[in-house]
Structures are given as structure tokens and as C-alpha cells.
Amino acid sequence: MSDFFLKALNVKKSYRTSSEKIDVLKGLDFRLQRGEIVSIIGESGSGKSTLLHILGGMDLPDDGSVLIDGVDITSLDLKERSRFRNENIGFVFQFHYLLPEFTVMENLKIPLMIGKRHSRGEMEEICIEILNLVGLFEKRNRKPDELSGGQQQLLAIGRAMVNSPRLLLMDEPTGNLDEETSKRVMEKLFKILEELEITTVIVTHNISLARRTEKIYRLSGGNINLEKY
């Protein structure tokens, strides 16, 4: 394949404290082919979450650009970037951020309602398909606090996929789960990713999880390199 689905080019990002400037990303280059599933590891504070937020258009670099399927998301204004993110990118975080007052089905529908691209009937069909995919159809009328930790994270994964994203970004998706629950969630996740062929970046401290991906990258000193395992 001659081109890349995701390209981060010369990405720089720094933060200022009261006494100093901290360079987090130092002209970083990162490229992914369509459908690749990769992980990024690194020490706490190395900039993994910062990079993920920039790749997903939630934050902008100080310099450099991010292109997703040829679209330079760093050149879009806030409204355009938000629309692009909603239509093309799914996010899963360490904490599920589910809305406790809504049912499982209602939590899934929220991204679809924001996107305003589907009729009520279509939204229902999409959510049922996703619930079957993550194994939560029987829990569709429950509230999040009636689910186990693993089920809550599966719902968060389902919510990230409900708009059929072309890019899935995951920030410590098993960091809030015990080891056994983490294994079950990851088994389900990788089965889904392989079936749907979604380009995926997973930031994690969990080496067992990282080793399940096609490639492992290490972020260190503001730059990223392919890791050998």
C-alpha cells in the first residue's frame, strides 16, 4: 500500500508550568496503514495520552499536522473538527464515562443523536447490532450501575463503535479492571476489531495487552519508535 490511513507529521507539543517549559512531543512522526491494530507503551508522563488526544483531534499540536485518510484535522476549525471526530473516530478511556441516569440502550444512542445522521428506527437497529456485538443485548434496559465493571467497559467500547468509526483510539482501556476481567474484555474486543477491521491505537501499560496487537511502539523522550518483543 503506497499511502497511509493515519499520518502524524513533525508533531510538537509542550506545556508551561510556572517555572519551566516542558517539551512533551518533539517533532514526532507516526504512520498507520488502514486496518492496523497497534499499541503505544511508555513511562507515565511520556506523552502517550497527549499524543492520543492529538491523533483524535481533541487537542492540537503546537506544530506539525495529523492527517486521517487524507484530511488534515489540524487545519479544521473547532466545529469542523468536532463533526469529523463524531463521524470518524471512536474513543475508549480507562474510565467508562457512562451516564448513570440513562439505560444501556440510551447511552449507546447518544453519539448517534449528536450526529443527527439516522432516523429513530435506524438508531434502534444500529444499537441492537452493537449490543449483540459486545454481548449486552439482554442488559439493554439496565442502568450502568447494574452492570459489572467488565460490562461497563464493554458498553463504553460499544458506544465508541456505534458511529462505525474508521479510527478507534483507546487510552488504558483495561487500566480500571482486575486481571481476569481485563482478559475477558480484551478477548471480546479483539474479536470485534478483527471482524470490523477498524484501524486501532491502544495506549497501555499492560504489556500482555500490547503483545496482542500487530505492532508495539514505545514513546520516550518526545519521540516514538517501533519496539521489539
pLDDT confidence of residue 1: 44
The count of C-alpha atoms lying within 13 angstroms of the C-alpha of 25, restricted to the half-sphere facing its C-beta, is 29
The pLDDT of 78-103, averaged and rounded, is 88
pLDDT confidence of residue 150: 85
Highest mean pLDDT among 52-66, 90-104, 199-213: 52-66
Condensed to tens digits (0 to 9), the pLDDT of residues 170-223 reads: 998 877 777 888 888 888 888 888 888 889 999 998 888 899 899 999 999 999
Residues 37/8, Cβ–Cβ less than 8 Å: no
User: Considering just the CA atoms, what is the radius of gyration of the chain in Å?
Assistant: 18
pLDDT confidence of residue 143: 94
Q: Is residue 2's pLDDT more than 50?
A: no
Condensed to tens digits (0 to 9), the pLDDT of residues 134-172 reads: 888 999 999 999 998 888 888 988 888 888 889 999 998
pTM: 0.87
**Fold (topology level) of 6-226:** Rossmann fold (3.40.50)
Annotated domain spans of the chain: 6-226
C-alpha dihedral (143, 147, 153, 154), degrees to nearest 10: -90
Condensed to tens digits (0 to 9), the pLDDT of residues 210-219 reads: 998 999 999 9
Nearest to 108 by CA among 146, 164, 161: 161
pLDDT confidence of residue 36: 93
